[in-house]
Amino acid sequence: MPHSQVKIQSIFFCWFDERKGPQIFIQVPEGSECVNDAAFHSIQNYLIPREELQQKLITVKAFGHKILGCPVHIKNSNYSRNAFIFNVCFVFKPNANTKCYERVLKKLVQYFTVLEMESNYLSRLSPNIYEEPPAEKKFFTSLREVLSQVMERLNSTGCCAIPIDEANTIHLKLVPIYDTPLHIVDHDVPILTVKLSEFHSLQWDLTTQQVLPHIDGFKHVALVAAEAGKDVQLVKTLLENLLYFQLIKIIPIFQYSNVYMITADIQRLYKSKDLQAKALQAVKLPNKPEPTFDDVLKIYSCFTHGTMMTVKNVCLRLCPQTEMRIDVKKLIQFGVVNGLLRRIHKYPVRTSDTYYAPETAVGTPYLRYCDGLNSYDEICCALGITYEELDKNIEENPTIHICWK
């Protein structure tokens, strides 16, 4: 799993010194001084706070930085003030999303707390904190070197293992925090974000292994479940799990009657040579020469604001399959997955209930869905009918109007 794109700018260790009060003792990288002494003293009450806030994550935004800390109070009569107070703080850019670092910082602080209670790993560095000099012990890695390695390795690989002594090694690993995924419904279409060959069978249960080969970016959830011979609710649950870990995306059903509109992100395609190369590779027909980028743009430009052209209309006008060597289904899929296109859905709205028989009448089950909240995709999937059948029924009913959105 990839490590976070949010990088640590600096790490500093601060404590309460009996003679000098709150102080930054070590800051890495050495000489960086992301947070200098003057800045620290203006916010010291938040970083070396009262005992009630110990072991609580504290975030401070100041001086162009975001500082994440977790203060600790260790009570012991051997300390000069009967307590040892310290904090380890990660420094980030002001608008960084630091969620994935919270568990890592708490775990690092817990390591330091245990090391201090067992062998005075931290307090031995100051003659003002401990009543009597603690017994000398050999440590493999100094506190400064630990902080330097934590910063360097979390930024580069997202994990680290740092030996402290014969019995203790600090193990840290960033685990990305994802948003709770959207609820998956029958008419959603899953598409893999990684190659199927990259999935290792030992990582997944048997049901997931049986479902994965049926995900092609065109089959909707109900069809995937039917082809895999699995309960649709079970399939939706495992797809939500894959969606949470960003191994799939959800896109709308493809139909030649669909209407799309280009988004502002189409500029990325125009500017990025890498995205252009991916597009050409994705949309080329098997055993045919690669199409030109101009032809790709020509098709996308048909879906501009206000045209309301269907995919079928575009195919009849430009003949992408025969004239341009472009798989139009893959072209639409690529555009939706990369945010270059968005689907414009049809929502039937029933404005009167006097024209047709009640919803319970035979042949009119679609009427209960005509409330402006259900799209064609939802209705067709729920009733097991085609777009053409739904269109025919709606066109014959003058009390139903179409809303595009």
- Check which CATH number belongs to the domain holding 135 and give it: 3.30.450
166 shares its domain with 55 = yes
Mark whether 296 and 333 lie in a shared domain.
Answer: yes
By C-alpha distance, which of 319, 318, 326 is closest to 284?
326
Q: What is the mean pLDDT of each run of 10 residues along the chain (405 residues)?
A: 72 89 90 83 90 87 92 88 91 90 93 90 79 71 93 91 89 78 88 79 76 93 94 91 86 94 92 93 93 95 90 95 94 95 93 57 73 91 89 88 91
Q: Are residues 80 and 165 in the same domain?
A: yes
3-state DSSP call for residue 396? coil
Q: Please state whether the predicted TM-score (pTM) of the whole model is above 0.85.
A: no
Structural domain of 193:
189-250
Q: Please, are residues 359 and 280 in contact by the beta-carbon 8 Å criterion?
A: no
306 part of a folded domain: yes
pLDDT at residue 342 in the model: 94
* Residue 328, in any domain of the structure: yes
Q: Are residues 78 and 131 in the same domain?
A: yes
pLDDT given at position 176: 72
Q: Are residues 282 and 362 in the same domain?
A: no
Are 131 and 224 in a shared domain? no
Q: Is 114 a domain residue?
A: yes
| Final residue before a domain boundary, out of 328, 344, 360 | 344
Residue with tokens 């980030």: 92
127 burial type by CB count under 10 A (0-12 exposed, 13-18 middle, 19+ buried): exposed
Do 135 and 264 fall within a single domain? no
Residue at 2 is within a domain? no
The CA distances from residue 207 to 211, 224, 236, 282, in Å, are 6, 12, 12, 29
Say how many domains are in the chain: 4
Is 354 found in the same domain as 336? no
Given this model, what pLDDT does residue 362 score?
Answer: 41
What pLDDT is recorded for position 355? 52
Look up residue 294 and give its amino acid: D
- Are both 167 and 20 inside the same structural domain? yes
Q: What's the pLDDT at 179?
A: 67
Per-residue model confidence (pLDDT) at position 82: 86
